[in-house]
């Protein structure tokens, strides 16, 4: 029998892989996280294949690598079902609740990507955009199956905005894990990941980014964007 720590690691690994990620520059600026390392890796797409192999993508197709995500998440369902039959109920319920919260966090992140990737990365290809849509749909379907099979009641919009302390912590850890993997120690992992710095067109890019940030502040006060910014990215949206 694997330890609960190993089981959770396996569940989260399957959840994380077969996906494409990027750190949104606009949200980093809003959160005040503007260190050179963060800025150098912002708006760069990083693909994680089903086996965990990862690399930066420019115009390479990604949707074919996202497709196996449904199989990985099905394996997570099988794992949880087996635990129900063999392990103490209280421990399994805790693991399921914890895992479900992480899945919700990834749905928020993937939803943001679908909404804003074309603004954050204007040259994103049709195939790459479809990859973002695909991983969102697969993960949303997985979340619904979790609720159906394990009686996890869906939260309504008002409840979503008042995430409990434990769930908030899990959402924060979700983002921290994304950031940790997307921004490795470049000197240490240079043989595995080669990060290329993009040239920026200062004036137009900065003006567009400022406008985008202001738009985000307005749009982020409701539904998924509100949760993503306040609970996951810890951005204050208080009006002056």
Comparing 229 with 146, which gets the higher pLDDT?
146
Query: Is the pLDDT at 14 greater than 70, yes or no?
Result: yes
Reported as a single tens digit per residue, the pLDDT across 85-110 is 888 888 899 999 989 999 998 998 99
φ, ψ of residue 42 to 5 degrees: the values are -70, 145
**Sign, CA torsion 200/106/172/188:** negative
Give the tokens for residue 81.
Answer: 């079902």
Per-residue pLDDT at 62: 94
Per-residue pLDDT at 77: 96
What's the structural domain count of the chain? 1
Per-residue pLDDT at 232: 53
Residue 181 lies in a domain: yes
Residue 107 lies in a domain: yes
Residue 114 lies in a domain: yes
Per-residue pLDDT at 67: 94
Reported as a single tens digit per residue, the pLDDT across 117-135 is 999 999 999 999 999 999 9
Residue 238 lies in a domain: no
Exposure string (b/e) for 88-124, b if CB count within 10 Å is 16 or more? eeeebeebbebbbbbbbbbbbbbbbbbbbbebbbeeb
Per-residue pLDDT at 238: 54
Residue 151 lies in a domain: yes
- Percent of the chain at pLDDT above 70? 61
Comparing 202 with 236, which gets the higher pLDDT?
236
DSSP conformational letter for 49: -
Residue 237 lies in a domain: no
Q: How many CA atoms lie within 13 A of 49 on its CB side?
A: 8
Residue 162 lies in a domain: yes
Per-residue pLDDT at 198: 36
Farthest CA pair distance, the chain: 61
- Percent of the chain at pLDDT above 90? 37
DSSP 189-239: STTT----PPP--HHHHHHHHHHHHHHHHHHTTSHHHHHIIIIIS------
CA–chain centroid gap for 61, Å, is 19
Give the domain range for residue 57.
4-188+197-232
Per-residue pLDDT at 158: 41
pLDDT, averaged across the chain? 75
The C-alpha torsion from 9 through 13 and 15 to 19, rounded to 10°, is 160
Residue 240 lies in a domain: no
Reported as a single tens digit per residue, the pLDDT across 126-184 is 999 999 999 999 999 999 999 999 874 334 334 444 444 555 555 566 666 666 665 55
Q: How far is CA 152 from each of CA 92, 145, 173, 178, 224, rounded to the nearest angstrom? A: 13, 9, 21, 25, 19
């Amino acid at each position: 029998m694997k330890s609960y720590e190993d089981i959770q690691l396996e569940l989260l690994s399957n959840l994380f892989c077969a996906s494409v990620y990027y750190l949104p520059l606009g949200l980093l600026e809003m959160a005040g996280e503007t260190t050179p390392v963060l800025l150098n890796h912002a708006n760069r797409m990083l693909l994680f294949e089903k086996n965990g192999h990862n690399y930066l993508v420019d115009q390479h197709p990604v949707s074919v690598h996202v497709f196996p995500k449904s199989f990985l998440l099905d394996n997570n369902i099988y794992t949880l079902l087996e635990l129900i039959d063999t392990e103490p109920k209280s421990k399994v319920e805790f693991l399921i609740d914890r895992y479900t919260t992480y899945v919700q966090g990834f749905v928020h992140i993937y939803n943001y990507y679908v909404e804003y990737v074309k603004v954050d990365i204007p040259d994103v290809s049709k195939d790459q955009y479809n990859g973002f849509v695909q991983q969102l749909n697969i993960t949303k379907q997985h979340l619904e199956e979790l609720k159906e099979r394990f009686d996890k009641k869906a939260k309504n919009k008002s409840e979503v905005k008042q995430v409990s302390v434990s769930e908030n912590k899990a959402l924060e850890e979700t983002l921290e894990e994304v950031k940790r993997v997307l921004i490795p120690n470049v000197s240490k992992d240079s043989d595995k990941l080669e990060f290329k710095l993009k040239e920026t067109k200062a004036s137009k890019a900065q003006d567009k980014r400022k406008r985008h940030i202001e738009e985000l502040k307005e749009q982020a006060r409701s539904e998924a964007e509100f949760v993503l910014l306040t609970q996951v990215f810890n951005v204050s949206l208080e009006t002056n």
